[in-house]
Structure 1
Amino acid sequence: MYAEMRQPAKYKKIIKQLAAYQAQLALEEEAEVLYADIKMALNHKVRSRKFLLHQMPVYQHKLEQIHKKVKSYNTFHFLYVTRLSKEELVGNYEEIIKITSVTEKARKQGKINDKRFDKRFNNYMSVYAHLRCRKAEQGLALAEEYFKDFHYSSGNWFYFLETYLLLAVHAKQYGQAFELLQQARKNPYYRKQRVAAQQRWELYEAYIQFVQPEQSPVKMRYFTQFVQTVPDYSRDKQGYNVAILILQFLHFLRRRDIEGLLARLEGLRKYEQRHLRDPATLRSQLFFRMLLMTVKQNFVLAVCEKKAAPLLERLKAAPQPGEAYGEIEIIPYEDLWELTLGILRQNQMEQAAIEHAERNRT
């Protein structure tokens, strides 16, 4: 326009501004491409996420350099999400709590564009990090505060509620976890979730039902059927399959179904050999061995407790795996081991009662 109007001074001034903005836009687009590469790998298979681990420091460094030059909201956003993704991949959830806390403080101080920044995502990552670094009580309190910011028609409402429920389970607030589960079921948008998401809710319900069994025969029949058919639901060789195998084993242990238990025992062995060789899966490896020990020791409570003690200490000291390894503990393994010992104790008492009744009859 200035060229057409023959105004050379204004033309030269605006051309310089335009060149600066074009240079900024080019850097922002470069940052966006870097972030897109990261996002693609994160949304792919477990193997891709493991490969990404080695590339993340390079990506982060490039994004930091771009942000120093541009200092725009766009470059901040790509760097911020990349930093969170990097720590999530390696399982450094304490650092995620720090990042989210510092970011929220900066938002309140007006250092971040509040109209563009999604504080709900920041809050979700904080709550999720509390779950993964074993700060369930603190995380549960934050989840109760932050949940009101999510609208029930949003898919993010369900994602946040999943973490909220798991925090309740990890804090051993099973009654609250059941109420949250019912809240999800009653949401009119529940059936509009992806099939995989609905199956996760079913698995959560199965665990809660296992910990606090309902007396309803219909519920118990549904639970039994679910536990026996759930392997068909999962094709990924890590993640929820671990939780499924454990639940099946404990289910047959409680029922004292030796035939079913031995079948699941073989499944546990094969799974460990094929998919739990990585050092980052140490917690699952150790817990699998503890479960296998109950069979080797013929389900004798005192012997199982004694033999598993060294493994339990190693389990308590083992770090939580990062997202790169796709593992999830619906109930912490330490709590599941207490539950396992409780089942052995109950089975032992019932067996002793049966033997006592038989002796009285003879």
Structure 2
Amino acid sequence: MNARQLGKEAQLATLLAADVNATKLQVTKQMYGTGSEANQTAMLRLRGRMQDKLLNHLFFLDHSDSRLFLSRRYQVECFDLLYKGTILYLEGEYNLSERLLRKCLRLAEQGEFTSYAELACQRLRIIYSEQRQQQQYDLINKKLAKLRQTQACEDEAELMDTQVRLTMTRPVAARRALPQKMPTYIEEAERLHRKAGTFTTFLALYRLRMVQAELAGRYDDIIRYTTAATQLLRQGKLNERRFDQRFNQFVSVYAHLRSRQYKAGLKLAEVYAADFHPTSSNWFYFYEHYILLALHAGDYNQALRLLHVAQKNPSFPKQRPAAQERWELLQAYVEFVQPAEALPTRRRNQLALFASLTVPEYTRDKRGHNVAILVLQLLHYLRQRELEPVLARLERLRKYQQRHLRDAATLRSRLLLRLLVLLPEVNFDPVLLAKRGQNLLLQLSQAPMTGEADAEVEIIPYEQLWTLTLGILKNGAPQ
């Protein structure tokens, strides 16, 4: 059917689907011919009508897809019953309303959705009150009081968990204060879980323990926690309607990466990849670490293949700006380590432009990517044999080391930069450089991975970057 024969809402939907980046003015002109004030007002009304129709379709979404978050289908089922039971009560259909609310309560208790169980009890109490059913009223009132106590524990546990996770997204300086606070958080979460004993309090405690281990760099402990949780699930000690094994899978892959168990992590990632839905934001987090595992394992061909898989995902350009920046830097590294013939000429030119011009300069606190950015710039100019830019980047690395890498937790980054600043001292001779750097390289190989709060992200392990540097210099020194 011709677009002109469609209704206005359908025409607008077609236009937006064809060009998701179209501005309001552009769409107005296409819909009404001009961008006059009257047409823009008409456009706002049209958009409102279309939005209302789209929102109505939310009632018909299929939440049973096994690829979606596990608890979603059960949570939505409770909400649906609660909504219908409430509407029926308002219509005076008390018997049918009670039946649906009772079912909602039963399913909420099975899924340990305390908030929905509490709401269902509230509405049932109102029904029993208005129907003068004293015995039922007393029973539901007692259950409601107990649920509210449980809900209070869950709210407190979730608040702690949320505060910690928000702090983990803040600048490095703020995150460094967390390790000292974590024992107190863990102790309080354990108390709340002993009191409530619900899945929600378990999950908060579980996450807090993993954050504590991550901050301390104890990634083997995280692997142990995920294995134990899987066993609890198999033993029926965790709610199968709530515990999504994919969360465990992602955390396990991440822990294998950080604990340098690259080959084992790659095997797990290959198995787990099919369980993550391509439309989920977790899919991109998973593939980001999947690619990092391939890079750390030295399998650069697989890293490139995985990068292409991620880029073909229709949701790739819809990620948050911060995520897109990480992917740009990750792509630059993946392509930088490829043989020249593996990339088309156009892409090689784009990579050179990215590395030399558009890679952002380091900021005072850029979530641990500063060293990765500066080193990529340095390696690019080393490969191009451009002496002045190389010396400029080395000076920036030296200053960055002095200003930002003074803590014990930044030992690995500090050792790498100390290796790199040796370049001009040996006149970029790879043989002399390898000899001069032996002791520092040994220290680097023995330096432990630090916790997430302090670590600079190693897109490629620093030992491999050093080998790559020596290989570039064998092709000639910058001039």
Could you state the TM-score of these two structures normalised by the residue count of structure 1? 0.90
User: Which residue of the partner structure matches residue 282 of structure 1?
Assistant: 411
| Aligned counterparts of 1:206 and 1:224: Cα–Cα separation in 2 | 9
State whether residues 230 and 244 of structure 1, in contact with CA within 8 Å, keep that contact through their aligned partners in structure 2. Answer: no
> Does residue 59 in structure 1 map to residue 182 in structure 2?
no
CA displacement, residues 292-351 of structure 1 (integer Å, 9 cap, x when unaligned): 112211112222111111111110111112111252101101111111121222227x99
| Aligned counterparts of 1:138 and 1:321: Cα–Cα separation in 2 | 20
User: Which residue of the partner structure matches residue 336 of structure 2?
Assistant: 210
| Aligned counterparts of 1:196 and 1:9: Cα–Cα separation in 2 | 57
User: Which residue of the partner structure matches residue 227 of structure 1?
Assistant: 355
Report the alpha carbon displacement of residue 14 of structure 1 after superposing the two structures with TM.
5.3
What amino acid does structure 2 have at the position aligned with 1:339? L
Report the alpha carbon displacement of residue 110 of structure 1 after superposing the two structures with TM.
1.4
State whether residues 362 and 373 of structure 2, in contact with CA within 8 Å, keep that contact through their aligned partners in structure 1. Answer: no
Give RMSD over aligned pairs: 2.1
Secondary structure of the residue aligned to 1:200 is helix
What amino acid does structure 1 have at the position aligned with 2:444? L
Structure 1 regions of 5+ residues with no counterpart?
352-362
Change (3 A) 1:165 1:292: same
CA displacement, residues 9-44 of structure 1 (integer Å, 9 cap, x when unaligned): 776665544433332222222212222221221222
| Aligned counterparts of 1:198 and 1:16: Cα–Cα separation in 2 | 51
| Aligned counterparts of 2:366 and 2:130: Cα–Cα separation in 1 | 65
User: Which residue of the partner structure matches residue 378 of structure 2?
Assistant: 249
User: Which residue of the partner structure matches residue 48 of structure 1?
Assistant: 174
> Does residue 69 in structure 1 map to residue 186 in structure 2?
no
| Aligned counterparts of 1:307 and 1:71: Cα–Cα separation in 2 | 59
> Does residue 185 in structure 1 map to residue 311 in structure 2?
yes
What amino acid does structure 2 have at the position aligned with 1:48? A
Match of 1:330 among 450, 453, 459: 459
User: Which residue of the partner structure matches residue 171 of structure 1?
Assistant: 297
CA displacement, residues 274-297 of structure 1 (integer Å, 9 cap, x when unaligned): 111111110000000101112211
What amino acid does structure 2 have at the position aligned with 1:261? V
| Aligned counterparts of 2:293 and 2:222: Cα–Cα separation in 1 | 17
State whether residues 151 and 157 of structure 1, in contact with CA within 8 Å, keep that contact through their aligned partners in structure 2. Answer: yes
User: Which residue of the partner structure matches residue 299 of structure 1?
Assistant: 428
User: Which residue of the partner structure matches residue 316 of structure 1?
Assistant: 445
User: Which residue of the partner structure matches residue 359 of structure 1?
Assistant: none
| Aligned counterparts of 2:183 and 2:419: Cα–Cα separation in 1 | 37
What amino acid does structure 1 have at the position aligned with 2:286? F
What amino acid does structure 2 have at the position aligned with 1:227? A
Give aligned pairs, total: 350
| Aligned counterparts of 2:312 and 2:133: Cα–Cα separation in 1 | 66
Match of 1:158 among 284, 287, 291: 284
State whether residues 73 and 113 of structure 1, in contact with CA within 8 Å, keep that contact through their aligned partners in structure 2. Answer: yes
CA displacement, residues 98-124 of structure 1 (integer Å, 9 cap, x when unaligned): 001111111122111111112111110
User: Which residue of the partner structure matches residue 162 of structure 2?
Assistant: 36
**Higher normalized helix content (fraction of residues):** 1
State whether residues 238 and 275 of structure 1, in contact with CA within 8 Å, keep that contact through their aligned partners in structure 2. Answer: no
Change (3 A) 1:297 1:99: same
User: Which residue of the partner structure matches residue 30 of structure 2?
Assistant: none
Structure 2 regions of 5+ residues with no counterpart?
1-124
| Aligned counterparts of 2:361 and 2:316: Cα–Cα separation in 1 | 18
What amino acid does structure 1 have at the position aligned with 2:173? R
What amino acid does structure 2 have at the position aligned with 1:197? A
What amino acid does structure 1 have at the position aligned with 2:252? S
Secondary structure of the residue aligned to 1:144 is helix
| Aligned counterparts of 1:3 and 1:257: Cα–Cα separation in 2 | 83
Change (3 A) 1:272 1:12: same
| Aligned counterparts of 1:181 and 1:11: Cα–Cα separation in 2 | 60
| Aligned counterparts of 1:295 and 1:196: Cα–Cα separation in 2 | 35
Q: Which moved more, 1:70-79 or 1:20-29?
A: 20-29
User: Which residue of the partner structure matches residue 121 of structure 1?
Assistant: 247
Report the alpha carbon displacement of residue 234 of structure 1 after superposing the two structures with TM.
5.9
What amino acid does structure 2 have at the position aligned with 1:60? I
State whether residues 53 and 86 of structure 1, in contact with CA within 8 Å, keep that contact through their aligned partners in structure 2. Answer: yes
State whether residues 174 and 208 of structure 1, in contact with CA within 8 Å, keep that contact through their aligned partners in structure 2. Answer: yes
Q: Which moved more, 1:89-98 or 1:234-243?
A: 234-243
Report the alpha carbon displacement of residue 232 of structure 1 after superposing the two structures with TM.
2.6
Work out which structure has the larger RCO, using CA pairs closer than 8 Å and 6 or more positions apart in sequence.
1
| Aligned counterparts of 2:184 and 2:393: Cα–Cα separation in 1 | 43
Question: Max radius of gyration: which structure?
Answer: 2
| Aligned counterparts of 1:211 and 1:40: Cα–Cα separation in 2 | 34
| Aligned counterparts of 1:272 and 1:230: Cα–Cα separation in 2 | 22
| Aligned counterparts of 1:6 and 1:200: Cα–Cα separation in 2 | 62
Secondary structure of the residue aligned to 1:347 is coil
What amino acid does structure 2 have at the position aligned with 1:149? D
| Aligned counterparts of 2:393 and 2:219: Cα–Cα separation in 1 | 33
Q: Which moved more, 1:195-204 or 1:59-68?
A: 195-204
